[in-house]
Amino acid sequence: MHPMTHDVARVLISEGDVQRRVAELGAQLSADYQDSNPLLVCVLKGGYVFLADLTRALTIRHGVDFMAVSSYGNATESSGVVRILKDLDRDITGRHVLIVEDIIDTGRTITYLMDNLRVRQPASLRICTLLSKPSRREVDLDIDYIGFEIPNGFVIGYGLDYAENYRNLPFIGVLKPEVYS
């Protein structure tokens, strides 16, 4: 057993289920983006684990780039005002761009990113998120690719953290309330 599972109340999505779904998404994206050489834009930090597995599930030519953003306001509530800490290395004009996120919660971060990237006139701009919490949504949003819809609750693992811990867990778990309260 993983030593860090001590703080996990229950496993929400097992390692096997995560890996199967990532393989499915990889196959679907490989078909949808055939011959278009898309650029996968990973949103740091949470997206790095999903991106690493997703990119290896693709059978098509593609590039990867990274953005680091930080939300203004307090740590638990997303304000939607986002500061770019690291921008893309290259211009995306005319490029097919797929944003890769670990989770979409209120939808404010991804909305800001979409607005920011759309101005740069990519050929297309879509979203792929491993997790979505529809009950928490505060803005209207069409998500092109979703791994799993999940209920509200404090989830960790597979890139998702609490105070920078647990990102390395290979499954999605629910954190024990006593850890964060």
Residue choice 161, 162, 176, 179 for contact with ligand PRP (CB under 6 A): 161
Whether 7 is catalytic: no
One DSSP character per residue, 66-94 reads EEEEEESS-SSS--S-EEEEE--SS--TT
Q: Judged by CB, which is closer to ligand PRP: 50, or 171?
A: 50
Tokens describing residue 138: 């505060």
Q: How many C-beta neighbours within 10 Å does residue 31 have?
A: 10
> One of 17, 91, 105, 142 is an active-site residue; which one?
105
Q: Judged by CB, which is closer to ligand PRP: 9, or 69?
A: 69
Tokens describing residue 116: 């920011």
Is residue 131 within 8 Å of residue 147, measured between CB atoms? yes
Minimum distance, C-beta of residue 164 to ligand PRP, in the bound complex (Å): 8
Span of 6-14, 38-46, 54-62, 120-128 interacting with ligand PRP by CB under 6 A = 38-46
Span of 6-14, 90-98, 105-113, 119-127 interacting with ligand PRP by CB under 6 A = 105-113
Is residue 72 within 8 Å of residue 118, measured between CB atoms? no
Applying CB under 6 A, the residues found at the interface with ligand PRP are 43, 45-46, 71, 78, 101-110, 161
